[in-house]
């Protein structure tokens, strides 16, 4: 069984430790834990995790957030991975910091990366692991907040939540979407 796990983020050192890059950060942590390396490939950095008889193709799109769908669509087709085996790890303002929510589908909720994936893959029917980044910003400062760096307090606890996200990713590939949602969406 093959899976495509997509971590959303923006390339470049100026975005590296920003809230918007939590998808990249989670996949980087997973790769570090499993001693995987990243390869620069077409439209994405890629890595392969073999886990309990499954192949998890990890990608970090190099298209910038707003064009993430180009990479997702390309790798789905190239690897012949059906949409039900795609999982997108994405930041979410609507969830409190560190809250994780696995969803089988849903709207982009204004997230430009998800909007582009919907446009280029034909709809909203793909799983997403929403990683709460909170919404602690003054009115009109959403972009600064999302593209801002984590606070020290957040950095101190981030590994706990990233490890839980990694558990959810591997569970998605082994026990499936429904059981993973039942176990972790509390």
The secondary structure of 97-161, three-state, reads CCCEEEECCCCCCCCHHHHHHHHHHCCCCCEEEEEECCCCCCCCCHHHHHCCECCHHHHHHHHHH
135: which residues sit within 8 A by CB, 6+ positions away? 93, 94, 145
- Among residues 20, 51, 57, 111, the one annotated as catalytic is 20
pLDDT higher than threshold 90 for residue 136:
no
pLDDT higher than threshold 90 for residue 140:
no
pLDDT higher than threshold 90 for residue 109:
no
Q: Could you give the percent of the chain with pLDDT greater than 90?
A: 93
pLDDT higher than threshold 90 for residue 14:
yes
pTM for the full predicted model: 0.96
111 annotated active-site? no
């Amino acid at each position: 069984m093959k899976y495509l796990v997509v971590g959303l983020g923006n390339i470049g050192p100026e975005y590296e430790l920003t809230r918007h890059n939590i998808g990249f950060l989670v996949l980087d942590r997973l790769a570090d834990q499993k001693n995987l390396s990243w390869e620069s490939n077409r439209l994405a950095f890629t890595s392969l995790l073999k886990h309990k008889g499954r192949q998890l193709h990890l990608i970090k799109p190099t298209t910038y957030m707003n064009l993430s769908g180009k990479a997702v669509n390309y790798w789905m087709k190239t690897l012949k991975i059906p949409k039900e085996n795609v999982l997108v790890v994405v930041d979410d303002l609507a969830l409190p910091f560190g809250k994780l929510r696995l969803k089988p589908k849903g709207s982009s909720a204004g997230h430009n990366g998800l909007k582009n994936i919907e446009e280029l893959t034909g709809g909203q029917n793909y799983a997403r692991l929403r990683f709460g980044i909170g919404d602690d910003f003054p009115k009109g400062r959403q972009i600064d907040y999302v593209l801002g760096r984590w606070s020290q307090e957040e950095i101190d606890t981030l590994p706990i939540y990233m490890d839980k996200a990694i558990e959810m990713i591997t569970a998605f590939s082994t026990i499936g979407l429904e059981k993973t949602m039942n176990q972790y969406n509390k």
